[in-house]
């Protein structure tokens, strides 16, 4: 054990991510990286403030010791524009989602995005320093639905919809898939599937042909899962926007804008993950 090292789940809990037990589950689910490498087994020892620890791609501030006081919890919704990344900071200097909400976060406090949207996608991102709520919203065990409005090139019809609901094996060793607890042949990946998908409308674009607007629901997700699944049935995603996380709705929030959640919205999110 390196000098000054502590158990990973203790360091995560002390940083306010979640309870130690939930931090252990996050490790076993492959959601934690230490110094760039995924951790799947415990014990794992880290040096707070020296080793780089990430949860779902978000850097955890391990210099913080002790949980955030509940009265100091902050909950912010942002509409992420295209080209903004879903992290708290970026060594390459790219714009990140935390930068959208700085004016809504009290001095001395920090918030982190719950889950991810890839750079090309837009829409609703929840940011908070409530580690327990963030963990439960992201964890597959709680099955919180995320809804997306997706524009694709092509026409989506019955057989393709059925195939998307049945799912495909997607190779992605570092992320959580929407799975029935099964892995593909010879460890090729997990079965990923779309929970619900509806065709809102299909129209003809003079320049590119058929275009379909879809309403897609996922309860778990791998990296770029919707894009990869739709590609399996021959559809290219032109635009992907997240419009809801559980009961929280994007509504009329403009791209690049952010707002604090109401007490009723926070309570509804907590009820969705059995925290109230």
What 3 state SS string does 21-57 have? HHHHHHHHCCCEEECCEEECCCCCEECCCCCCEEECC
Query: Would the pTM of this model clear 0.85, i.e. be above it?
Result: no
Q: Is the pLDDT confidence value at 140 over 70?
A: yes
Q: For 6-59, give the CATH class.
A: alpha beta
**Domains of the chain by residue range:** 6-59, 70-141+250-272, 145-245
Enter the tokens of residue 231.
């590609």
Superfamily of domain covering 145-245:
Pseudouridine synthase (3.30.2350.10)
Which among 18, 83, 100, 13 has a CA at the least distance from the CA of 48?
13
**What torsion, rounded to 10 degrees, do the Cα atoms 85, 175, 191, 245 define?**
-50
Q: What is the pLDDT of residues 178-232, one digit of tens each?
A: 444 445 554 456 788 899 999 999 999 998 999 999 999 999 877 789 999 999 9
Does 130 qualify as catalytic in the annotation?
Answer: no
Work out whether strand 112-113 and strand 58-59 pair parallel, antiparallel, or are unpaired: unpaired
Active-site residue identified among 118, 196, 210, 215? 118
- Between 100 and 131, the higher pLDDT residue: 100
Reduced to 3 states (helix: H, G, I; strand: E, B; else coil), residue 13 is helix
Q: What is the pLDDT of residues 109-135, one digit of tens each?
A: 888 888 888 999 999 999 998 878 887
Per CATH, the number for 70-141+250-272 is: 3.30.70.580
């Amino acid at each position: 054990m390196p000098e000054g090292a502590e158990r990973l789940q203790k360091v995560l809990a002390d940083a306010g991510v979640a309870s130690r037990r939930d931090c252990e589950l996050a490790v076993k689910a492959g959601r934690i990286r230490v110094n760039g490498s995924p951790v799947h087994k415990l014990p794992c020892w880290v040096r707070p403030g020296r080793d780089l620890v990430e949860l779902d791609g978000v850097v955890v501030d391990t210099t913080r010791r002790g949980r955030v006081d509940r009265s100091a919890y902050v909950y912010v919704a942002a509409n992420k524009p295209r080209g903004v990344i879903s992290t708290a900071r970026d060594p390459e200097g790219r714009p990140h989602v935390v930068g959208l909400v700085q004016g809504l976060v009290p001095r001395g406090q920090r918030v982190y995005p719950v889950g991810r949207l890839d750079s090309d996608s837009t829409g609703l991102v929840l940011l908070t320093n409530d580690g327990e709520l963030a963990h439960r919203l992201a964890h597959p065990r709680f099955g919180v639905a995320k809804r997306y409005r997706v524009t694709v090139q092509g026409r989506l019809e019955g057989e393709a919809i059925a195939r998307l609901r049945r799912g495909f094996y997607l190779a992605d060793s570092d992320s959580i898939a929407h799975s029935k607890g099964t892995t593909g042949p010879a460890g090729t990946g997990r079965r990923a599937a779309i929970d619900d998908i509806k065709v809102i409308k299909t129209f003809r674009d003079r320049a590119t042909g058929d275009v379909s607007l879809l309403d897609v629901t996922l309860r778990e997700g791998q990296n770029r899962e919707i894009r990869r699944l739709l590609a399996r049935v021959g559809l290219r995603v032109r635009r992907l926007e997240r419009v809801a996380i559980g009961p929280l709705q994007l509504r009329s929030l403009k791209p690049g804008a952010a707002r604090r959640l109401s007490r009723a919205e926070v309570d509804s999110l907590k009820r969705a993950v059995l925290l109230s």
